[in-house]
Amino acid sequence: MVATMDSAGLTALAEKTRTVQGSALRDMLALVMRPDLQSFALGLPAPELLPLADCRAAAAQVLAGDPEALQYHLPCESLKSHLRQLLATRGIDCTEKQIFLTTGAQQATHLVANFLLSPGQQVIMEEVTYEGLHLAIQPLNPEPLIVPTDPETGIDIDAVEEQLERGASPAFIYTITDGHNPLGRSLSVEARIRLVELARRFRTPIVEDDVFGFLNYDGPASPPMRSLDDEWVFYIGSFSKILAPSLRVGWIVVPAALQQALSSLKQASDLDITTLGHLTAAAYLDAGHLPAHLATIRSEYRRRRDAMVRALEANFPSAARWSTPSCGMFVWVELPGEVDTGELLRAAVESESVAFMPGDIFAIPGLPRSRNGMRLNFTHSRVEDIEEGIARLAKVLRKFLHRDFSC
Amino acid sequence: MVATMDSAGLTALAEKTRTVQGSALRDMLALVMRPDLQSFALGLPAPELLPLADCRAAAAQVLAGDPEALQYHLPCESLKSHLRQLLATRGIDCTEKQIFLTTGAQQATHLVANFLLSPGQQVIMEEVTYEGLHLAIQPLNPEPLIVPTDPETGIDIDAVEEQLERGASPAFIYTITDGHNPLGRSLSVEARIRLVELARRFRTPIVEDDVFGFLNYDGPASPPMRSLDDEWVFYIGSFSKILAPSLRVGWIVVPAALQQALSSLKQASDLDITTLGHLTAAAYLDAGHLPAHLATIRSEYRRRRDAMVRALEANFPSAARWSTPSCGMFVWVELPGEVDTGELLRAAVESESVAFMPGDIFAIPGLPRSRNGMRLNFTHSRVEDIEEGIARLAKVLRKFLHRDFSC
């Protein structure tokens, strides 16, 4: 990789390069940019529903009067105030002093991981989970304590309890409460209560990723774990899925006493200051646009989710399994055990120009659990493209199964 | 600090909290927000010169047509293309593939440090230097190899050579070529050549921070070290000092072969994607506004620099030393040895509502070298405020010296 640098003096550099794995997410982002591709790969909002005119008005207002909008400033207080009100609609009772603003949820995850996790320490995580968590913790060389997860019921809480009772001392337990990435599932109220009880009993923080909890399709989602505990739950949210990714607005809700430490970590990463994106989001919220926008995207995404599930029912082999997510952006499909979805992806892109995210992306390398899983996004594509794309994907899958069976 | 968390199970968390020191820069930012204060503390652009209307037009254009401006996207190619042209005016010959976009120069510094530096490895750095470097490398627990630096001539290259000849094997040598922070000085052409020769001879990368090189007041600044070597020099730049901090645009110029590794590191930190700020900067550059803006701020900042130097000459005691910077935002003043500028700051804020940055902020804690140094910013304040503020600061200083002498 360091083609022009071959000296022993650069051992450290080369070593670093080896440990920095190319991000599959980024590679997929490059692939999905191919205009000829019908992609269900990424967790993208529908572009035609992005609130362009309202964001334009918000940015114009930010840049209309005070040049200080372009200056260095402390984190945006009015954005925190809006977030406090927004989080209250999810049952979260917090103060502005408990809200820490970040450059999207990935930075929130990265900062929390760097804050909680000492090098080599244990982390309890599901066998498949958000790929950005792997990226965030990898440089700290953690010992992952992998617990099973079920596409219907989620993280195996018995397994979590067993690990903790056996004396595990993890830096944190990571999970996604609603619209799990990649599984789509939401945790039951009982599961939320039990996890919080375990966190308290074993004095182990939970990192609760809730970037999908506002995308609820079958009535209100249950309150997140943060609504049950304000001490052991580090709550992560984002506007990337519900407003606009390029504004780069994420947040962490933590005890107020931890703000300064997080701020120092962010200061070292990219300065803990207000950005044009954060100011634009605050102005957008000032104008009161979010509730109507959320209603619009929930309604359309529900239609798309239903279309995808119908298309799977109509086209996929009966041996494939999936469930209907009540929140989020993804349907998780498990194919017959002999299918490697990484190989299927290559075939699907080559022969039918369809893409999805293979399960291995979300697993610790080497674990076989998700080899036959695929994550399908239903928010980015229109209903007719979902119907046609799933039919094409099923065509590849049938050939693929036939090939495998004929071997 | 972890007031509500007192369990042994959270040892790791508390440990982290202890190692994350409150950032003095951030504390100073909070202090400087006090409207009653005449502050020379921070490296802020003049607010009244920030190009508000042109940025408003640029943002409006970005958000006028394609909703994809709000979507996830790969790093902005048109911004890279503009940067290539801009860097050519500093004598840097590079391709778009060698330009890596970041969330400001702090993230550039953080990513390069994390890329080059293995935990515990050595770093060659000056006895006083940019505080953000300390923040960026601190979590990697490096062994700092501190070399002397001179307010007139800069980094002591003999000392660098001596360290390398003695067998030091640093991850990199860090310096700021023009308008050094906090010293204000620019390196001579000979010094640049010698440092690059050392980097080649000892196969040790130089991290060249050039965020101030475009703010040149006495004719063109000399070409940066990156113009002399495209293999061993990692070049960092930013729009925060010359366009607008809240756009959060920084960059690193590195061999193209290293892009993917940096991208993976950024992906883990906050995703390697385009932001509204980056798009706005690209549209601003498309419109061709930067050259005129640079001419405006250079001309006004030169006036302010001259005013500050005149005010120092008129008001400060003869035992104080400073020099006139040809680039950047700062005048560095060294006071008689018995003065602790940290104490002086508290007195200045309390009795005369004047602030500056005490030298210790820029030094490895415990090293006495900069105890009597102060960094004065001349770009943020109008000429009349510089004149009055320096007079008030001199008043505090006289009292302070008198107090000390009378002890």
pLDDT tens-digit profile of A236-263? 999 999 999 999 999 999 999 999 899 9
Q: What's the confidence (pLDDT) of residue B5?
A: 40
A351 and chain B in contact, CB less than 8 A: no
Determine which of A33-47, A375-389, B237-251, B284-298 has the lowest per-residue pLDDT on average.
A33-47
With cut-offs at 50, 70 and 90, classify the pLDDT of residue B22. Answer: very low
Among B71, B115, B117, whose Cβ lies nearest the Cβ of A44? B71
List pLDDT tens digits, range B263-275: 999 999 999 999 9
Question: Which residues in chain B have their CB less than 8 angstroms from residue A47's CB?
Answer: 67-68, 70-71
Report the relative pairing of strands A122-126 and A143-147 from DSSP bridges: parallel
Backbone angles phi, psi at B175, to 5 degrees: -155, 165
Nearest residue in A to B32, CA atom = A73
**pTM of model > 0.90:** yes
pLDDT value of residue B376:
98
Let me know: does B234 contact B79? Beta carbons within 8 Å. no
**First-to-final CA distance of chain B:** 37
pLDDT of amino acid B154? 96
| A120 at interface of B, judged by CB pairs closer than 8 A | no
The whole-number average pLDDT for the span A82-103 is: 97
Q: Which bin fits A30, alpha (ψ -120 to 50), beta or left (φ > 0)?
A: alpha
pLDDT digits (tens, 9 = 90+) for A164-175: 999 999 999 999
Cross-chain CB nearest to B270 (options A26, A47, A110): A110
Q: What is the pLDDT of residue A316?
A: 97
φ/ψ of A159, rounded to 5, equals -65, -35
Average pLDDT over residues B262-290: 96
Mean pLDDT value across residues A160-166? 98
Distance CA A70, CA A274 (A): 9
> What integer pLDDT is reported at residue A14 of this predicted model?
38
Q: Given CB atoms, is A231 within the 8 Å cutoff of chain B?
A: yes
- Structure ipTM: 0.93
Backbone angles phi, psi at B332, to 5 degrees: -100, 130
Interatomic CA distance for residues A301 and A206, integer angstroms: 29
Nearest C-alpha in A relative to B233: A5
Average pLDDT over chain A, rounded to an integer? 91
Question: How many Cβ atoms sit within 10 Å of the Cβ of residue B70?
Answer: 26
Residues A116-130, mean pLDDT to the nearest whole number: 95
Q: Pairing mode, if any, of strands A330-334 and A321-322?
A: antiparallel
User: Helix, strand, coil % (nearest 5) of chain A?
Assistant: 50, 15, 35
B24 interface with A at CB cutoff 8 Å: no
**Would you call A276 and B29 a contact, using CB atoms and an 8 Å cutoff?**
no
Structure tokens at B401: 């010296």
Whole-angstrom distance, CA of residue B129 vs CA of residue B155: 10
Residue from A95, A102, A264 whose CB has the most chain B CBs within 10 Å, to mutate: A264
Please tell me whether residue A366 adopts helix, strand or coil conformation.
coil
- Residue A110 touches chain B, beta carbons under 8 Å: yes
How many helices (H) and strands (E) chain A has is answered by 13, 15
**Burial of residue A391 (number of CB atoms within 10 Å: 0-12, 13-18, 19+):** middle
A256: closest CA of chain B, how far (Å)? 9
The residue among A62, A71, A107 with the most chain B CBs within 10 A of its CB, best to mutate, is A71
DSSP for A192-208, please give it: HHHHHHHHHHTT--EEE
Q: CA nearest B58: which of B86, B82, B87?
A: B82
Q: Do B26 and A280 touch (CB under 8 A)?
A: no
Task: Indicate which of A19, A56, A72 best probes the interface with B, i.e. most B CBs within 10 Å of its own CB.
Answer: A72
- Residues of B with Cβ-Cβ distance to A264 under 8 angstroms: 20-23, 26, 135
Say which of A23, A45, A68 has its CB closest to residue B264: A23
Single-letter amino acid code for the residue at B151: P
Give yes or no for residue B328 having a pLDDT over 80: yes
Taking an 8 Å cut-off on Cβ atoms, the answer to whether B1 and A257 are in contact is yes
Which is nearest to A92 in space by CA: A203, A260, A208, A250? A208
Phi (first) and psi of residue B309, to 5 degrees: -65, -40
- Do the bridges between strand A149-150 and strand A354-355 make them parallel or antiparallel, or are there none, so unpaired? unpaired
| Test the A interface: residue of B44, B70, B77, B254 with most A CBs within 10 Å | B70
Q: Cα distance from A237 to chain B (closest Cα, Å)?
A: 14
* 8 A C-beta contact, residue B202 and residue B164: yes
Alpha-carbon dihedral angle through residues A91, A92, A94, A100, given to the nearest 10 degrees: -150
pLDDT in tens, B166-184: 999 999 999 999 999 999 9
In chain A, which residue's Cα lies nearest the Cα of B255? A4
Please say if the pLDDT value at position B20 is more than 90.
no
pLDDT, one tens digit per residue, over B79-109 is 999 999 999 999 999 999 999 999 999 999 9
Asked if B2 and A258 count as a contact pair (C-beta separation under 8 A), the reply is yes
Give the one of A70, A169, A204 whose C-beta lies nearest to B52's C-beta. Answer: A70
Mean pLDDT of B362-389: 89
Residues A342-374 have pLDDT tens digits of 889 989 998 999 999 999 889 876 666 688 999
Q: Is A234 on the interface with B (CB under 8 A)?
A: no
Contact flag A71-B29 (C-beta cutoff 8 Å): no
Q: Say yes or no: A398 contacts chain B, CB-CB below 8 A.
A: no
> In angstroms, what is the C-alpha Rg of chain A?
22
Task: Return left, alpha or beta for B279; rule: phi > 0 is left, psi -120 to 50 is alpha, else beta.
Answer: alpha
Q: In whole angstroms, what separates CA A283 from the centre of its chain? A: 25
Residue indicated by tokens 């774990």: A225
Tokens 């040598």 belong to which residue? Answer: B173
**Per DSSP, what are the bridge partners of residue B123?**
B144, B172
What whole-number distance in Å separates Cα of residue A118 and Cα of residue A122? 9
Q: How far apart are CA A161 and CA B349, in angstroms?
A: 54
Mean per-residue pLDDT over chain B, rounded: 91
Average pLDDT over residues B224-237: 97
Q: Which residues of A touch B248 (CB under 8 A)?
A: 270, 275-276
* Three state DSSP letters for B234-278: EEEEECCCCCCHHHCCEEEECCHHHHHHHHHHHHHHHCCCCCHHH
Task: Cis check for the bond before A182: say yes or no (omega within 30 of 0).
Answer: yes
Long-range residue pairs from B165-168, CB within 8 A, at least 24 positions apart, any chain = B168/B122, B168/B124
Amino acid A19: pLDDT? 41
Rounded mean pLDDT, B128-147: 93
* Cα atoms found within 13 Å of the Cα of residue B43, Cβ hemisphere only: 27
pLDDT digits (tens, 9 = 90+) for A135-149: 999 989 999 999 999
- A115 close to B (CB below 8 A): yes
- Report how far residue B288's alpha carbon sits from residue B292's, in angstroms, rounded to the nearest whole number: 8
User: Which residues in chain B touch residue A203, judged by CB atoms under 8 angstroms apart?
Assistant: 5, 7-10
Check CB contact under 8 Å for B118 and A15. Answer: yes
B102 in contact with A, Cβ within 8 Å: yes
Report the pLDDT value the prediction gives residue B369, as an integer from 0 to 100.
66
Instruction: Evaluate if residue A1 carries a pLDDT over 50.
Output: no
**8 A C-beta contact, residue B142 and residue B120:** yes
* Residue at A353: amino acid letter: S
Quick check: helix, strand or coil at residue A32?
A: helix
Of B1, B136, B263, the CB nearest to A26: B263
HSE-CB of B364 using CA atoms within 13 angstroms: 16
- Under DSSP, the state recorded for B337 is T
Interface contact A71-B50, CB threshold 8 A: yes
Q: State whether residue B35 is helix, strand or coil.
A: coil
- Indicate the pLDDT class of residue A16, thresholds 50, 70 and 90: very low
Residue B7 Ramachandran class (φ > 0 left, ψ -120 to 50 alpha, else beta): beta
Which residue reads 């080599």 in tokens? A120
For residue B1, the chain A residue with the least C-alpha distance is: A257
Looking at the complex, report in whole angstroms how far the Cα of residue A400 sits from the nearest Cα belonging to chain B. Answer: 32
Conformational region of residue A316, where left means phi above 0, alpha means psi within -120 to 50, and beta covers everything else:
beta
**pLDDT, tens digit, for every residue of A265-322?**
999 999 999 999 999 999 999 999 999 999 999 999 999 999 999 999 999 999 999 9
CA dihedral of residues B99, B100, B105, B109 (deg, nearest 10): -110
Angle made by CA atoms A56, A62, A67, in degrees to the nearest 5: 135
Of A63, A71, A271, the CB nearest to B56: A63
Question: Which pair of structure tokens corresponds to residue A21?
Answer: 């794995």
B59 touches chain A (CB under 8 A): yes
Report, as an integer, the average pLDDT of B206-233: 97
Tell me which amino acid residue A253 is: V
A259-270 vs A104-116: helix crossing angle, rounded to 10: 120
B262, two tokens:
């940096």
For position A125, what pLDDT does the model report? Answer: 96
> 137-156 in B: which are within 8 Å (CB) of A?
138-139
Instruction: Please indicate whether, in this complex, the C-beta atoms of B23 and A279 are within 8 angstroms of each other.
Output: no
Which one, of B124, B84, B80, B134, lies nearest residue B102 by Cα? B80
Res B211: pLDDT: 98
Tell me the angle at which helices B77-88 and B276-286 cross, rounded to the nearest 10 degrees: 50
CA dihedral angle for residue B348, residue B354, residue B355, residue B360, rounded to 10 degrees = -30
Percent of chain B with pLDDT over 90: 81
Q: Taking the alpha carbons of A246, B254, A18, B198 in that order, is the dihedral positive or negative?
A: negative
Query: Min CA distance, B388 vs chain A (Å)?
Result: 23
Best probe of the B interface among A27, A70, A236, by most B CBs < 10 A, is A70
- Measured in angstroms, the CA of A48 and the nearest CA of chain B are apart by 7
Element of type H or E holding B332: strand B330-334
Q: Look at residue B187 and give its three-state secondary structure.
A: coil
Disruptive mutation site among A5, A11, A20, A379 for chain B (greatest number of B CBs within 10 Å): A20
Neighbours of A383 (CB within 10 A): 16
End-to-end C-alpha distance for chain A, whole angstroms: 37
Contact residues, A window 196-215, toward B, CB-based 8 Å cutoff: 202-205
